Structure 1
Amino acid sequence: MTAKITVGWREWLSLPELGIEKIKAKVDTGARTSCIHAINIEEYEEDGEKWVKFIAQPLQDDEQTRITCKAKVKKIKAVTSSSGQKELRYFIETTLHAGQHSWPIEVTLTSRATMKFRMLLGRTAMENRIVVDPALSHLLDS
């Protein structure tokens, strides 16, 4: 059995396949799925497959930093937000870098403009890899 990574309740992470070098995430064991803040989401077709292009704004309170991302759509599914609202969301797969560790995760795209964190790391992405110490923050060197 591989040793699990200990993280705090919030961490700086990276999504290099999307061009996002640094994004502050809330490590949320109450959320099943992970999500990132995305605006201007546009669906298109590439080689007969469904893709999305979107703008990521990875830094809270920084509307100027905009990263254009694209990813293949894994699925489109209704997700219930923490406020109880159902929303159809695009699911994509990308590589997560957490400190010195990397693995593929599934994330949904949604507007988190009013939220404190531009990313939620949900328990599906943490499964069998991460242990959360809720008393600590920023344990990973990014």
Structure 2
Amino acid sequence: MSTDFRLAGWREWLALPDLGIPAIRAKLDTGARSSALHVDDMTLIERGGQRRVRFALRPGLDLERVEKEAEVIDIRPVTDSGGRTRERPFIRTTLQLADGAHWPIEMNLTNRADMLFPMLLGRTAMAGRLAVDPAQSFLLGRPEPR
């Protein structure tokens, strides 16, 4: 097992380049298994025998709302912080750090309007890559659009 971890704070700026999101504030939560992304609207569709999801999101407070579509890799039950379990669609996308490091992650789409952070990065996406210092914030810098 590699010990070449990047030290991250409990909240960080991350990027999701496959979704056209150059920077998004995320809470890094080692207690959450999966990652989650806030979407405003979501519709499951089927095209050519493939499950897909159409969704709308606002990548940042100062950015326009955009509509995206992605392949649904799975639909799984997720238990939220309030103890409620609901089925959520999961997509695969690329996570990018400010230094350009990137890797594929799975994340579920949900409405996080009542949460402080539009994205939650769970332990599965961090495993073997990030170590979290809960006393620190924004250690990784802010990703620049490519």
In structure 2, distance between residues paired with 1:65 and 1:34: 23
Q: Could you tell me which residue of structure 2 aligns to residue 140 of structure 1?
A: 140
Counterpart in the other structure of 1:85: 84
**What CA RMSD, in Å, does the superposition of the two structures yield over aligned residues?**
1.5
Q: What's the % identity of the aligned pairs?
A: 48
Give the aligned length: 140
Q: State the TM-score, normalized to the length of structure 1.
A: 0.92
1:1-142 alignment runs, 5 A limit? 1=2, 3-59=4-60, 62=61, 65-100=64-99, 101-141=101-141, 142=143
Deviation at 1:10, TM superposition (A): 0.4
Question: How far apart are the structure 2 equivalents of 1:63 and 1:87?
Answer: 31
- Residues in 2 aligned to 1:107 and 1:35: alpha-carbon distance in whole angstroms: 5
Unaligned runs of 5+ in 1: none
Unpaired runs of at least 5, structure 2: none
1:87-140 superposed Cα distances (whole Å, 9 cap, x missing partner): 110011100002221000000000000110000000000001110111111111
Structure 1 position 84, deviation (Å): 0.5
Q: After TM superposition, give the deviation of residue 80 of structure 1 in Å.
A: 0.5
* Stretches of 4+ aligned residues off by more than 2 angstroms: 62-65
TM-score by length of 2: 0.90
CA–CA distance in structure 1, aligned partners of residues 29 and 98 of structure 2:
18
Distance 1:96 1:31 in 2: 17
